[in-house]
Structure 1
Amino acid sequence: MAGVRADIRDRDGRALRHAVLTVTDAAGAQVVRATADGDGAVRTAEQLPEGSYTVTAAAVGYAPVAVTARVTGAGRADLGTLELGPQEGARLPEPGVWTIDPAHSRVAATAQHLGISSVHGRFTEFGGRIDVAEDPERSSVEATIRADSIDTGNAMRDRHIRSADFLNVTEHPEITYRADRVSAAGGERWTVHGELAMHGLVRGVDLDLTCLGSGPDADGATRAVFRATTELRRHDFAMNYNQVVAAGIAAIGTTLKVELDIQAVRGTALPGTPQD
């Protein structure tokens, strides 16, 4: 297949969904522009004349990377993996309300299975807002997740997770997180101090937050990019179901690693949605 091909990822190897790849010719004129898919892959369909081109990969919150590509006589160039690092000196974005954009965000959790492998899941329905205060440490977060939107790629397993053994989504349809305090952890890193309500219980949960920066998108809106992680203990939320499959080996690990990749849009509503 002709065209330019590349996989765009961050320094941790994670796909940068919706990153943009721009190809310019020797005169500096743009000849093609394409957006990465959900796996961070860009595959342009245009066949380019043989020669040298400059290819720039960019994503909101990351420093752009430019490379020289040699297009062959077949009209193609395979750039492999392009790795983007965070913007230097990224801090919390400007004060105000930032609305979480679920279409460009990810809420995921990983549990250990049989002590030797992992089960990965994600929630597909969620939303919320981030209020950045003039005093950054007084910033706040409110987020809600639909518990029944869990997706691990296996329908039988998802039904079990939704049952009373785990999330009990019939009685507890929502998972909420609220925080009203943030503390600096150095550089672009922050600690968010909040409370997580899940399975009918409320527990204090801190998020390790990295602000990757902010900037305009293609539609003129201003976006900010965050990454956050934490670890939850299942028994803190009375989800104690397990099976012992061998001496000393449980089917499911006792902890969950939670990873959040969040894009938020400046304002109280997402582009294309009605304002209150």
Structure 2
Amino acid sequence: MSDQQLQPGTWRIDTARSVLAFSVRHMMVSRVRGRFERYDAELTVPEDPMQSSVRATVDADSINTDNEQRDDYVRSAGFFDIATHPQWRFESSRIRTLGDNFVLDGNLTVKGNTRPVELRLEFNGVTRAPCGLLRAGFRADTEISRSEFGVDIEMPMDGGGVVVADRIRINIDAEFTLEE
């Protein structure tokens, strides 16, 4: 059975079935990919789903690029400074349509710096799980400038370019469950 609309209420992200991932150009020739292992998100849906709101937190120390040495460096004061800024936050400000999909506008706080972001949002539908819970799926993508969030390391390369690019792609696949 598939329900096509979000039901009003509070929806909680199911982190066992969701992914918060990113990628960044490395040395101008490849991409480093990673993900965050610990995060939380709540979707509040009123009668009009276009008035919905999202609040999310990310534990910055849960970064995982499959390279422990790199992860430790990224957690350090010279990069994310997780000792001072252990958690990041996102709070939506509005949802708007874009063709068949949506844009979720909001404010992202990383390393104590808050900036507006636009998440291109795809609603994948709602279904009832065999256990009876309603589940909703979303895909969201954006690109941010790390330097705008105070992650402004400069590592120029001899032949031009930088070791770590400024633009970070963020990809989210999220499954939410309606709290009943």
Smaller-chain TM-score range? Answer: over 0.9
- Indicate yes or no: 2:138 matched with 1:252: no
Instruction: Tell whether the 8 Å contact from 1:139 to 1:180 is kept in structure 2 after alignment.
Output: no
CA distance in 1, matches of 2:5, 2:117: 20
RMSD: 1.7
CA distance in 2, matches of 1:91, 1:227: 16
- Structure 2 residue runs without a partner (length 5+): none
- Indicate yes or no: 2:69 matched with 1:139: no
CA shift for structure 1 position 230: 0.4
State the partner residue of 1:201.
113
Mapping of residues 55-66 of structure 1, within 5 Å: none
State the partner residue of 1:114.
27
Point out the structure with the larger helix share.
2
Instruction: Tell whether the 8 Å contact from 2:4 to 2:127 is kept in structure 1 after alignment.
Output: no
State the partner residue of 2:71.
158
Q: Percent identity?
A: 33
Mapping of residues 97-246 of structure 1, within 5 Å: 97-187=10-100, 189-246=101-158
Q: Deviations over 1:176-199 (max 9, x none)?
A: 100131111122x11111100110
TM-score by length of 1: 0.62
Larger RCO, structures 1/2 (Cα 8 Å, 6+ apart): 2
CA distance in 1, matches of 2:152, 2:113: 13
Q: Which amino acid aligns with 1:174?
A: Q
Instruction: Tell whether the 8 Å contact from 1:244 to 1:251 is kept in structure 2 after alignment.
Output: yes
Q: Which amino acid aligns with 1:209?
A: L
Mapping of residues 52-91 of structure 1, within 5 Å: none
Helix, strand or coil at the partner of 1:250:
coil
- Structure 1 residue runs without a partner (length 5+): 1-59, 62-89, 269-276
CA shift for structure 1 position 116: 1.1
Cα distance 1:133–1:184, how it changes in 2: closer, same or farther (>3 A)?
farther
CA distance in 1, matches of 2:99, 2:179: 27
State the partner residue of 1:266.
178
Larger Rg: 1
TM-score by length of 2: 0.94
Instruction: Tell whether the 8 Å contact from 1:109 to 1:258 is kept in structure 2 after alignment.
Output: yes
